[in-house]
Amino acid sequence: MKKQLIICLTTLSTAIFCGCENNSAFMTPERLDAGLVVILPGIEGESGANQNVRDGLASAGIDHSLQIWHWGRPVPGVGMILNQIDFLGNYIAGAQVAERIVKYQNKHPNRPVHIIGHSGGGGIAVFAADAMPEGREITGVILLSASISSEYDITRALKHCSSGIVNFYNRNDGALLGLGTTVLGNVGGAHGPSAGLLGFTPPKESASDEKRLAYQKLYQVPMTSAMAAGSTPHFATTQSSFVTSYIAPWITSRNWPADPSIIAKRTRANGAEVIVFDKTSLSFREP
């Protein structure tokens, strides 16, 4: 496991950094008027991984403004570690993302807004939804191998998402999202396995009605070997072909969940008065 962690960190450290947000080609008046997709990179900053996410969305015909937004310190090596452990700064970064989204909404009201966050950017995406002002919503958040604690309470974030949050998680990503987040901590400061490894922990029987209701808009999708297609576990969700096939439908769908298999599971579950989102039986009551 430690060897895998070293390999993953080496991969991150060799990512190509960009000094500025190169979004001009995706900020035409037509795209801005169609909607906004914010892509939040991992702790490595803008790299081929998040550029592939944008390419996959473009290949799927998504006509929205597809913008990669920076957060944290764009410094190779030590900057990545600081981005991972500076949880106070990360909460601030989430609030800044929310502010930028509000400015977009002021100019383009009633347009769909989605946030896609990979790894550390997944945590920032949740913090951004948390920080949306009362009375403001985004359409949805899509998390890819998110480095945020599996125990993090996403009730407030879910309440600020009209469609909800979909969490793609990978149980083979234990090097970074298990060992790494236990040693260094998740981007929110908690030490332990992340939601990108295990999924978010469901509400307990004793949870408030508010929390149980909010979590009905959480959709957890476990990665399979077929979905990963032989890619490195932590970056399987950022491959352009994966994005086109598995992520773009959540952007284009007016009604979530966009995955027919999740719809089927929820339909079957309803008859037993239980909500089950995936194979790990993320439920409020065991069937």
User: Over 70: is that where the pLDDT of 20 sits?
Assistant: no
Confidence tier at 15 by pLDDT (50, 70, 90) = very low
User: Over 70: is that where the pLDDT of 92 sits?
Assistant: yes
What beta strand segments (E) does the chain contain? 36-40, 65-68, 113-118, 138-144, 161-169, 218-222
For 259-272, how does the pLDDT look when each residue is reduced to its tens digit (9 = 90+)? 877 766 555 444 43
Q: What was the pLDDT predicted at 264?
A: 60
User: Over 60: is that where the pLDDT of 114 sits?
Assistant: yes
Q: What was the pLDDT predicted at 122?
A: 98
Q: Is the peptide bond before 29 cis (omega within 30 degrees of 0)?
A: no
User: Over 80: is that where the pLDDT of 87 sits?
Assistant: yes
For 233-248, how does the pLDDT look when each residue is reduced to its tens digit (9 = 90+)? 999 999 999 999 999 9
Higher pLDDT, 70 or 6: 70
| Residue extents of the structural domains in the chain | 2-258
For 145-199, how does the pLDDT look when each residue is reduced to its tens digit (9 = 90+)? 999 999 999 999 999 999 999 999 999 999 999 999 999 999 999 999 999 999 9
Please state, in angstroms and rounded to a whole number, the distance separating the CA atoms of residues 122 and 173: 15
Question: Rounded to two decimals, what is the model's pTM?
Answer: 0.86
Q: What was the pLDDT predicted at 258?
A: 87
Q: What was the pLDDT predicted at 148?
A: 98
Cα–Cα distance list, 82 to 172, 218, 231 (Å): 25, 29, 27
Residues 218 and 171: beta-carbon distance below 8 Å: no
Q: What was the pLDDT predicted at 263?
A: 63
Please state, as a whole number, how many other Cβ atoms lie within 10 Å of the Cβ of residue 277: 25
Task: Tokens for 216, please give them.
Answer: 């009905």
What is the CATH class of 2-258? alpha beta
Task: Report the share of the chain in percent with pLDDT over 70.
Answer: 84
The CA-based dihedral angle spanning residues 64, 143, 60, 48, taken in that order and rounded to the nearest 10 degrees: 90
Residues 116 and 53: beta-carbon distance below 8 Å: yes
Q: What was the pLDDT predicted at 21?
A: 72
